[in-house]
Amino acid sequence: MRTIKAEPLTAEAFAPFGDVIEASAGAEQFSINYGNTTRFHNLADVNVSAEEGSVCVNIFRTKPLPQPIIVKLMEYHPLSSQAFIPMGDQPYLVVVAEKGEFKAEKLRVFLASADQGVNYHAGTWHHFSLALNSQSDFLVIDRKGKGDNCVEHELTHDEQVTISL
């Protein structure tokens, strides 16, 4: 079985798959609330409008998978983006592959810190949320509405990979 080493999550490395949501020095920012707040502006392109969809805000409570983590399932959302923002202080893993036909050899694994969220672009293959050290909550901005918005692919034994931290 192939092993993939998790790489640090950066906006540049993650750009083909979506947006990194973080209060970074490179983000557009300005002062609001009479100088008491810095607004990090326009951090993700949340797109949920296909087939009359609307925004749905959720909390996903995720238990860590047993180590070593073996990637056995991937999914994508054809009608919308999907944003995950951690609500605690724990790192987590992000597993993605390019849009289009699923290609296991194109899987990438990112190690996200507790102060980084991700927004998967519509059609981007991704694993469900992967808490690492303990049960973790994620604020999830998603789509509700008509249409089937989740396509899953169960990886064959030859496609499965182990994640190395």
Looking at residue 65, what is its pLDDT?
A: 95
The percentage of residues in the chain with a pLDDT greater than 70, rounded to a whole number, is: 100
For the chain, which residues score pLDDT lower than 70? none
Domains of the chain: 2-164 (2.60.120.480)
Tens of pLDDT, residue by residue over 153-163, are 999 999 999 99
Would you give the DSSP letter of residue 147? S
Rounded to whole angstroms, the Cα distance separating 67 from 90 reads: 16
What's the predicted TM-score (pTM) here? 0.94
Looking at residue 3, what is its pLDDT?
A: 97
Q: What are the Cα distances from residue 73, in Å, to 132, 136, 155?
A: 17, 20, 6
